[in-house]
A = this chain, B = another copy of it.
Amino acid sequence: MTRPYNIGMIGYGFMGRAHSNAYANVAHYFDIEYQPVLKAVCARDGEKAKAFAAKWGYESVETDWKKLLTRKDIDAVDICTPNNLHKEIAIAAAQAGKAILCEKPLAMNAAEGEEMCQAVEKAGVANIVWYNYRRVPAVTFAKQIIDSGKLGKIFHYRANFLQDWTISADLPQGGQGLWRLDVAAAGSGVTGDLLAHCIDTAIWLNGGIGSVSAMTETFIKERKHNLTGKVEKVGIDDACAFLCRFTNGSLGLFESTRYARGHKALYTLEINGEKASIKWDLHDLHRLSYFDHRDEGPYRGWRSIHVTDGDHPYMGKWWVPGLAVGYETSFVHQVADFLGGLAKGKPAGPTFRDALETQKICDAVLASAKSGAWTKVG
């Protein structure tokens, strides 16, 4: 027996589409008890909300998120707003007893995140943060490999998230589509937008981070601001890199930038263990590179595993071996796991509390970049 699970979506941008696609398709591929229903979409601009609702089949439209939270027919709220609104909406949603699916990063900083955690925990509502890359099948497979012990003791973890879309000095900051460049809306630059993804995956795969030493840079110091119309100081970090030590003794190296010409969205990760190593790259997201030292000597080599077989995570639900799925499936998988977790009473992560850890690391990174000193997390 299946039962409806009513979604109220706040926001309609890039992430609003990615999440809507997940709700609309999850039941086509996964056997789930809770069936998402696109009940309402909420945005200040009513016309845009209506158009979005028509496109995706939302049954109704709201222009005030507070109103949405009062509706009895909403089971869960999906927060796809800029980062600076996460806290207020999430706390109110928790108080209204709604489950919450919140875009990442959780908050503007760890202090906000802590408040949000306390709110959902106090309210006892289901909560999850959209760190979707955990559920790219090749990344989930990496988790299985690591948990199986195949890597042995871990020595190194490195991750990059490289883009090149803000190199032009003519690009403005702020407003629709560009709020990620506005520190007031985003809280930080690549640290919260991109490194947060790398960090979430890293602590999921390799455990906690103890301390960091970071460096940030803002290459373009001033940009026109779309909300004020004036040239204003850029407050975000264009690039951020940090060294760190994981609590398991391994060394970490992380870097993110939007000034790496030639890289569109190159999220790569690599983990080197005593016995085996793993590499992954978002640009070819269906492949996992795997090296196993236990292979017969002269036959050792990095294996390029095309993670599309029925015995790979999630892939038994899709097509046949050799046929890749896209970026958007990571969200489908997250919805499947979230709803499955509800049904089984075992919450799927990353919960707000899990995501707070990433927030603390981001805070430590930004603090270290400012102070120039190694900084403890948390």
Interface residues in chain A, defined as those with a beta carbon under 8 Å from any beta carbon in chain B? 14, 17-18, 20-21, 24-25, 27-28, 55-56, 141, 155-156, 158, 162-165, 167, 213-215, 217, 219, 239, 241-243, 245, 251, 253, 255, 257, 259-266, 272-277, 282-288, 290-293, 295, 297-309, 311-312, 318-329, 372-374
Contacts and interface: CB of A to CB of B under 8 A. Distances in A.
Given A141-B298, A243-B242, A311-B297, A265 B215 contact: no
A340 to B, nearest CB: 17
Most chain B Cβ neighbours within 10 Å, of A261, A286, A300, A319: A261
Contact of A304 (B164, B265, B301, B322): B301
B262 A293 contact: yes
Contact of A325 (B287, B304, B327): B327
A266 B308 CA distance: 13
Contacts of A27: 55
Contacts of A261: 155, 272-277, 291, 293
A322 B282 contact: yes
B167 A274 contact: yes
A360 to B, nearest CB: 20
A156 B260 contact: yes
17 contacts: A21-B25, A28-B55, A162-B272, A213-B243, A241-B253, A261-B277, A262-B277, A264-B306, A264-B321, A265-B322, A266-B322, A290-B299, A292-B299, A298-B307, A301-B306, A304-B304, A372-B373
A200 B291 CA distance: 30
A366 to B, nearest CB: 15
Contacts of A20: 28
Q: Which 7 pairs of residues, A with B, have the shortest CB-CB distance?
A: A265-B322, A264-B322, A262-B291, A301-B303, A301-B305, A326-B326, A325-B326
A239 B27 CA distance: 38
Contacts of A324: 283-286, 324, 326-327
A122 to B, nearest CB: 36
A76 B262 CA distance: 44
A56 B25 CA distance: 9
Contacts of A299: 290, 292, 303, 305
